[in-house]
Amino acid sequence: MADSRFFSASAPISIGDLAALTGASVSGESDKTRLFSDVAPLDRADSSHVSFLDNTKYLTDFSASKAGACFVREKFATRAPAGMILLVTEEPYYAYALAAQYFYPREAFTPAISPAAHIAKTASIGAGCRIDSGAVIGEHVKLGKGCWIGANTVISDGVEIGDDSRIGALCSISHAIIGGRAFFHRGVHIGQDGFGFAPGRGGVTKVPQLGRVMIGDDVEIGSNSCIDRGAGPDTVIGSGTKIDNLVQIGHNVQIGRFVFVVAQTGIAGSTHIGDGAMLGGQSGFAGHLSIGAGAKIAAQAGVMADVPAGASYGGAPAQPIKDWHRQTVAITNLVKKRHVNE
């Protein structure tokens, strides 16, 4: 289903193998050797495609879908169109992701160092790397095995990047030690000075930014996101953390493992985010805060104080999300009452 100008699918796979791969159960008496050639959205799939239903907003699309098979929760099975093979699972989106990964594994590449890349003699480049044209690799840089550095990306002196990492086009990285399997999109800037100025007699003076950016394994960073280096302590991003586009991470911020940071979020200096926290889009965090592990922060929240582990917060100033919802209702009622009284 995916456009062959941009994607190429693996060989077809039987529905039985797909079920085994994803942990789903094939419904009824279906022929488990039947082959499927691709994944596709409900409204565009045909009989050779596997689709999924995860959000009830798409139940109508599900009932009208021509997909040959579909990952679906058991409770929606009765809504399926006739003839559709059901791949029953309580995690349809997760199972779909595994199926899609089968058809479209991570893009392979041919190792090659572009003659138009600029690589310092003291840089150490692991086996099997690809470095595209216009890329700049500074002195004493260490790239692990199997890395891909995109076109026109600039890696400054001393930076270390672990095995199997992919740095997109037009990124810059300095003052950073990065783990394996990094996946940075385009226009990511890591390691620049934090925004550090000290007021005093004689005006404001710049505070030298003397820390680094330490990034764990399996970290994904979205396009045009910025991570400033530490001012003295390091800025730290834990393994498994995923950061969306246009995110700002200030100096000395410490983000734990498996944190999700949605687009356009900003985290001011020295704030700590616990493992597994989820930060909604456009949320903002004041400096020097502690956000507990597993906290969930709503989109656009303005977080001005510590958040306990596991708590859900929203609003600005951010507060427990139930309180925020109650206040929204109370304010609505306030106006309604006033209108009644007028």
Touching a copy of itself, residues 120-179 (CB under 8 A): 132-134, 136, 140, 150-152, 154, 157-158, 168-170, 172, 174-175
Residue ranges in 66-85 that form contacts with a copy of itself under rule CB under 8 A: none
Sign of the CA dihedral with 77 first, then 80, 82, and 83 last: negative
Tokens standing for residue 324: 């925020």
Side chain identity, residue 263: A
Q: Is 282 in the site for a copy of itself (CB under 8 A)?
A: yes
* Number of DSSP helices (H) and strands (E) in the chain, helices first: 4, 40
Spatial distance between the Cα atoms of 325 and 290, rounded to a whole number of angstroms: 23
**Site size with a copy of itself, rule: CB under 8 A:** 112
Could you give the string, one character per residue 220-259, with x where binding to a copy of itself holds by CB under 8 A and - elsewhere?
Answer: x-xxx-x-x---xx------x-x-xxx-x-x-------x-
Give the closest residue to 73 by CA, choosing from 40, 59, 29, 11: 59
- Choosing from 118, 122, 124, 305, the residue that interacts with a copy of itself (CB under 8 A) is 118
Q: 């997760």: which residue's tokens?
A: 94
Torsion angle, alpha carbons of 42, 43, 46, 49, to 10:
-30
Could you give the string, one character per residue 313-342, with x where binding to a copy of itself holds by CB under 8 A and - elsewhere?
Answer: ---xx-x---x--xxx-xxx-xx--xx---
Side chain identity, residue 165: S
Stretch of residues binding a copy of itself (CB under 8 A), selected from 11-19, 78-86, 123-131, 311-319: 311-319
Side chain identity, residue 82: A
Q: 């094939």: which residue's tokens?
A: 26
Q: Is 100 in the site for a copy of itself (CB under 8 A)?
A: yes
Residue ranges in 201-220 that form contacts with a copy of itself under rule CB under 8 A: 201, 203-208, 210-212, 220
Q: Is 251 one of the catalytic residues?
A: yes
- Choosing from 48, 63, 239, 300, the residue that interacts with a copy of itself (CB under 8 A) is 300
